[in-house]
Structure 1
Amino acid sequence: MTASTTATPCTVITIDGPAAAGKGTLARRLAEHYGFAYLDTGLLYRAVGRRLLDRGGDPCDVAAAVEVASSLRPEALEDPTLRSDETASAASQVAVIPDVRQTLLQFQKRFAASPPGGAPGVVIDGRDIGTVVCPHTPYKLFVMASLEERVERRLKELREQGIESIHGRVLQEMKDRDARDSQRDVAPLVKSEDALLIDTTEMDPEMVFSVALDHLSAQGLAPPELRS
């Protein structure tokens, strides 16, 4: 049975997958297409990790990480330093702390239940959105790509930011992040059984967007021009 063809404030599209697989690009495109609000949940963990680093603290300090997560505000997600490799590493460390995940889970659920700006729905990307945060939505996508392709994308992104990085270092950092994300005890990175798997290794963003739209339409999500 497919979902209603009319979007409601509770309409949620989830996109999960590993780093540099193309989640963010697809999520932003879908949010713009449907007129939905967008939340990159990875930025929540990056914001916590960044705040701890700025304080000279240890991302593995449970009490400090929970305190930062509890006081996190949406404006913290606009910090440009959240995209650095140092911040990404810290984020992956705080993400394995159960109490941090529980605290940020409530942030995400509030966002999904009450989209900012009165948006008719939300697009949320992360690692456990379709399995933990919004498991009941019928609109689930899981985006992946080969490790080597993801490394090349990350290197390109860094070069565009004026940052020169060594291939071997980026490769190892991505392997480490993949291991932490998939092996943690709480909410590990795993594909929801009812999510569409999209391997973007040999696909450009337009192809990925087209595949996602076809799937969402098949699941009953009407295009924006047909929604009231």
Structure 2
Amino acid sequence: MPAYYSQPAAANYSSPPPHAQKQRGYRICDQCGQVETPVVRFRLCGGCMVTQYCSQECQKVHWPHHKAICQHTTSQIASIKQHAASYPDENIAKNLRKFCSAHTSLLCWVGFQALQLKRVPSNIRQHALIIDLAPHNHPEGQRRFSVASTRIVKRSYIGDPLVLADIQRRDDRCRQNGGIGALVVLVQCAGISQVMPIEVDPPSKISWDTREDWAAVLHHFVESGRTDFQPISTTARGNIQYGY
């Protein structure tokens, strides 16, 4: 999934780009690894509504491996719905998934910068980035949040063994393909979490500049509702694959 970005992350971010372009190729099929394009549109698992597949055939083949985490996620979502009255928005889990889908490219870049993976690739094995959101009213689901805080924690913060096992599976797959592992970003709001394991190529293949203002960039794009984020890249190289 090569990508070339000619503008820095924060450049012109007070106004929309002159020609709106859809982000391309940022999801991968969890079975065969094919990259999504505007021509090949992926399907979500009907149970967990998180994992993506390029075809029904791949979904069927992968089911024995996906079954445990899928049923676990589905039960978590059902539990949230049963206790919806205790949340500020009964559709918060659904809107959180919309938020993560709309801001996938941004969240990946922020996690990469926050963990300083360009300089210290080994951080990917020990740490995770948590993004805490605060809910607010907005007609668009993915815009019903604002960034409350960000923090870096140990991966052991994730206590769910099934989720950890799924992250480890993605870790192993990424490293077998020459990557450095799965970057973990957790997006949280009102006690609900969306875990995003992002499979990352070696830093030598990622040409993004190191940026210290990642938190400010995150705040701006979320608060403004912009979903056209593109990280800086100084060469035609660059390959990031998004697991969720």
TM-score by length of 2: 0.28
Higher helix proportion: 1
Relative to its length, the structure with more strand (as a share) is: 2
